[in-house]
Amino acid sequence: MQDSGIEVLFQGINAWRLWQGMFVSLKLAAISMALSILLGIIMGMIMTSKNWLVKAICRLYLETVRIMPQLVLLFLVYFGAAKHLGIDISGELSAVIVFTFWGTAEMGDIVRGALESIPKHQYESSYGLGMKRGQTFVYIILPQTIRSLIPAAINLLTRMIKTTSLVVLIGVVEVVKVGKQIIDASRFEIPTAALWIYGAIFMMYFVVCFPISKLSAVLEKRLQV
Amino acid sequence: MSEYVLQVEHLSKSFEKGKAVLQDVSFSVKKGEVVVIVGPSGCGKSTFLRCLNMLEPIDEGNIYLNGTVINRKDKNVSKIREKIGMVFQSYDLFPHMTIWKNILLAPKLVQKRDKQETQAQAEQLLKRVGLWEKKDAFPRQLSGGQKQRVAIVRALLMNPEVLLLDEITASLDPEMVREVLQVVLELAKEGRTMVIVTHEMEFARAVADRVIFMDQGAIVEEEKPGEFFRYPKTERAKKFLNTFHFEALEI
């Protein structure tokens, strides 16, 4: 078994470097997700507007984000901004901008759906008890909204973690990039390195995303309304 | 101070232009009086009740609470709604809170009442409707009839001056209707001021001090229950009451 090439994973600090790369991916996903949740809640509230113009703009934003591949958006921000606007932003910042832009749209739509799924009578019985609009939102509507959007939000988080693998193409050194470096460095001693490294990366994504999606299932049961 | 708790003058309302839901409705409720509104579905009785609580905007007319005009646009609209308790057809308890939290939320948040006093009253009311042991349950664990009794307790705990009940048994299974109506009957006996919209004619007869028959958005008859159910004056009311006796006709 000496030639299988699996030893590439245990040479030097290779494993540690892969995890470091993974943390970069996770960091980008976490920052983008946190911003997306915050902005998405505001976006979702705007999306429930009855004004047709506001609605149309929101729709356009959401559809644009959904139709455009994230990779194109990344290139647009990273290369486009540098070339045409003369702004030199790092790959990581570009990634956060793009993923937040995407996440806010998706999260906004999730929040909109959750808000609209709350029956009108929930508002009415709250008003009927003499509660004000603000109180009704904070005590009655928001808690129910959060409960119903948790599964979809977690799903978005795992999608975001996976999509961060694209940032390798704008020069961010994350897990896939580290993997490539290791493969390149050991191309001659271990020709099968690619299989093991990419296999390991696959497992790493699984180790990270599986518990998150499990958590979603647990929360969904727990918080059942 | 007016002798009337609620008073309505020439109320009109339409959802679409030219299609009146309520036309020139005038009406008043004295303190301690129980008024039951009946009529075919779509006659505007529920809308009328919702107007009283300012959940629906009105086009014309005035609504008075204790002699003072109340208005939906008023800054103090929530202060006024505190005094008008309402229970809906679909027993809208807050699904994410226990029964106990459901009923205590508004007294705490809106009225800022003393905690111990409210809790004591809540306990007493829950015991009275036979649901004290359910206080830590969530609404989804309760039957429809139980939920509706909780909704009544929740409204009562605000110590409203008048209670509006909007078809509160309409979505209940028949065997649960009684337990809810029993509670309402007791409240009536206590001298609570209530305006009730219902399809339960036997109940209406038993609970009402006055019956109002509405059709096509207008008050057609206004009578003591004994009179109304035995000798309805108008053809429309006769026809309406007959729909509840079709079994007798078939034999």
Q: Which position has the token pair 């308890």? A: B93
B136 pLDDT band, cuts 50/70/90, is: very high
Please indicate whether, in this complex, the C-beta atoms of A131 and B109 are within 8 angstroms of each other.
Answer: yes
Residue A178 has pLDDT above 90, yes or no: no
Q: Do B158 and A131 touch (CB under 8 A)?
A: no
How many angstroms separate the CA atoms of A188 and B94, rounded?
A: 66
Go through B220-248 and write b for each residue having 16 or more CB atoms within 10 A of its CB, e for each that does not. Answer: bbebebeebbeebeeebbeebbeeeeeee
Q: Identify which of B81, B92, B151 has the shortest CB distance to residue A122.
A: B92
Q: Which letter, b or e, does each residue of B201-218 get, where b requires 16 or more Cβ atoms within 10 Å of its Cβ?
A: bebbbebbebbbbbbebb
Cβ within 8 Å, pair A128-B88: yes
pLDDT of residue B251: 46
Full-model pTM: 0.78
B245-251: average pLDDT: 55
Residue A113 lies in a domain: yes
Q: What percentage of chain B carries pLDDT values higher than 90?
A: 25
List, for residues B28-38, the tens digit of each pLDDT value. 899 989 999 99
What confidence tier does A56 reach under pLDDT thresholds 50, 70, 90?
A: very high
**Count of domains observed in chain A:** 1
Reported as a single tens digit per residue, the pLDDT across B113-122 is 888 999 999 9
pLDDT tier, A109 (very low <50, low <70, confident <90, very high otherwise): very high
Residue A224: predicted pLDDT:
63
Find the residue in A nearest to B151 (Cα): A125
Q: What is the CATH number of the domain that holds A198?
A: 1.10.3720.10
- Which residue of B56, B75, B79, B94 to mutate against A (max A Cβ within 10 Å)? B94
Domain that holds residue A207: 6-224
Phi, psi dihedral angles at A51 (to 5 degrees): -70, 125
Three-state secondary structure string covering B76-115: CHHHHHHHEEEECCCCCCCCCCCHHHHHHHHHHHCCCCCH
Residues 32 to 61 of B: which have CB under 8 A from any A CB?
A: 53, 55
Any chain A CB within 8 A of the CB of B4? no
Question: Torsion angle of alpha carbons A151, A153, A159, A164, nearest 10°?
Answer: -150
Pairing of the two strands B194-197 and B34-38: parallel
Interchain CB distance below 8 Å, B95 and A225: yes
CB contact under 8 A, B53 and A128: yes
Task: Report the residue from B93, B105, B111 with minimal CB separation from A139.
Answer: B105
Within chain B, residue ranges assigned H as helices are 45-52, 77-83, 99-109, 115-128, 144-156, 174-189, 201-207, 225-230, 235-242, 246-250
Predicted confidence (pLDDT) at residue B1 exceeds the cutoff of 80: no
Is the Cβ of B100 closer than 8 Å to some Cβ of chain A?
A: no
Residue-wise pLDDT tens digits, B179-204 = 888 888 888 888 899 999 998 888 88
Average pLDDT, chain B: 86
Substitution target from A123, A127, A129, A150 for chain B, most B beta carbons within 10 A: A129
Question: Does A206 fall in a domain?
Answer: yes
Distance CA A72, CA A74 (A): 5
Please report, as a single letter, which amino acid is at residue A7: E
Q: What proportion of chain A, given as a percentage, has pLDDT over 70? A: 97
Residue A1 lies in a domain: no
Query: Considering just the CA atoms, what is the radius of gyration of chain B in Å?
Result: 18
Phi-psi region of B198 (alpha: psi -120 to 50; beta: other; left: phi over 0): beta
Confidence of residue B111 (pLDDT cuts 50, 70, 90): confident
Can you give the pLDDT at residue A213? Answer: 84
Q: What is the pLDDT of residue B246?
A: 58
Residue A156 included in any domain: yes
A vs B, Cβ pairs < 8 A, gives 63
Q: Is residue A101 part of a domain?
A: yes
A146 confidence band (pLDDT: 50, 70, 90): confident
Q: Residue B16 to residues A209, B19, B20: CA-CA distances in angstroms?
A: 52, 6, 8
Mean pLDDT over residues A191-204, rounded? 85
Confidence (pLDDT) at B249: 52
ipTM of the complex: 0.84
Contact present, B63 and B7 (Cβ < 8 Å): yes
Of B93, B96, B154, the CB nearest to A143: B96
pLDDT band at A1 (very low <50, low <70, confident <90, very high): very low
Tell me the pLDDT tens digit for each residue of B220-237. 888 888 888 888 888 888
Q: Do B154 and A124 touch (CB under 8 A)?
A: no
DSSP state of B142: S
Residue A6, min C-alpha distance to chain B (Å): 52
Pick from B97, B53, B46, B49: nearest CA to B78: B53
CB-nearest to A135 from B79, B109, B151 is: B109
- Decide if A124 and B140 are in contact by the 8 Å CB cutoff: no
| Contact across the interface for A127 and B92, Cβ inside 8 Å | no
A147 at B interface, C-beta within 8 A: yes
Question: What does residue B17 show for φ and ψ, rounded to 5 degrees?
Answer: -60, 135
